[in-house]
Amino acid sequence: MKLETWLRLAGIPYELAPHDFSVAPKGKIPYVTEDDGAPLGDSTFIIEHLVKTRGHDPDAGLSREQRAIGLAFRRMLKENLYWVLIQMRFRDAHNWSLYRPVLGGMQVGKPVEVQLAIADAIHKGICEQIAGQGMARHSAEEIDRIGIGDLSAVSDVLGDKPFFFGEQPTSTDATIYGYVANIIEVPLVSAVLDHGRALPNLVSYCDRMRARYFPDLPRA
């Protein structure tokens, strides 16, 4: 969602296609395939590539200090909150029972039993990644505290501004929305989700971003 938000923010046209993990660089999504047919993976590197090749830079008006702050927050979300959310979706039995058919449904055109088998294979691999990364070594309460701290930091810096750095959205907003919307706007259960939904400025921020860039996207 982060990459799709950035593409809309930058005004770069794109087409969505079914995921094919067999051709995905590094075996992960998202990835893009440009006109030459070469796939490019990892949203951070995709965005860097598009800024250079397409000339669209939503961060052009930021100061060096703002760019540094934005980088720090994007890294916090990608390297920390991401694993909290992955833990919530894949290792919590209740949430996994809800997310499993959603993940399987991304395999468009395949029979349901094949979709679910693929989802289960992904689930196994993701759980191994979580264990290797280290988040799974914490207790559920400790993981909640980590996620709550990250959300509070975003909320505190956002304050009453319409976007993270003021009146205009930037790449950091694409990242924040990509993660926060997956907390506030998904029908899963977690203390982290409860905390995010209890922060009025994050809720209104998501409403603002969705209305601006995803007006046809229904709220879950």
pLDDT digits (tens, 9 = 90+) for 80-98: 999 999 999 999 999 999 9
How far is residue 53's CA from residue 38's CA, in Å, rounded to a whole number?
15
Any domain includes 219: no
Query: Which two tokens mark 103?
Result: 């993940």
> Is the Cβ–Cβ distance between 184 and 194 less than 8 Å?
no
* Judgement on whether residues 18 and 94 belong to the same structural domain of the protein: no
Q: By residue range, what is the domain housing residue 143?
A: 64-214
> Is the Cβ–Cβ distance between 210 and 203 less than 8 Å?
no
CB environment 49-61: b (16+ within 10 A), e (fewer):
ebbeeeeeebbee
Query: Which two tokens mark 144?
Result: 């909640």
**Range name among 56-70, 73-87, 124-138 with the lowest pLDDT average:** 124-138
How far is residue 179's CA from residue 139's CA, in Å, rounded to a whole number?
22
Mean pLDDT to the nearest integer, 15-23: 72
How far is residue 35's CA from residue 25's CA, in Å, rounded to a whole number?
17
* Judgement on whether residues 88 and 139 belong to the same structural domain of the protein: yes
pLDDT of residue 171: 95
Burial class (CB in 10 A: 0-12, 13-18, 19+), 11: exposed
Higher-confidence position of 20 and 62: 62
* Judgement on whether residues 85 and 127 belong to the same structural domain of the protein: yes
* Judgement on whether residues 49 and 68 belong to the same structural domain of the protein: no
Name the DSSP letter for residue 107: S
* Judgement on whether residues 202 and 149 belong to the same structural domain of the protein: yes
Upstream peptide bond of 13 is cis (omega within 30 degrees of 0): no
Question: Per-residue pLDDT for 104 more than 60?
Answer: yes
pLDDT digits (tens, 9 = 90+) for 146-202: 999 999 999 999 999 999 999 999 999 999 999 999 988 888 999 999 999 999 999
* Judgement on whether residues 79 and 46 belong to the same structural domain of the protein: no
Identify the three-state secondary structure at position 159. coil
Alpha carbons within 13 A on the beta-carbon side of 135? 24
Strand-pair partners of 163 = 166
Number of domains within the chain: 2
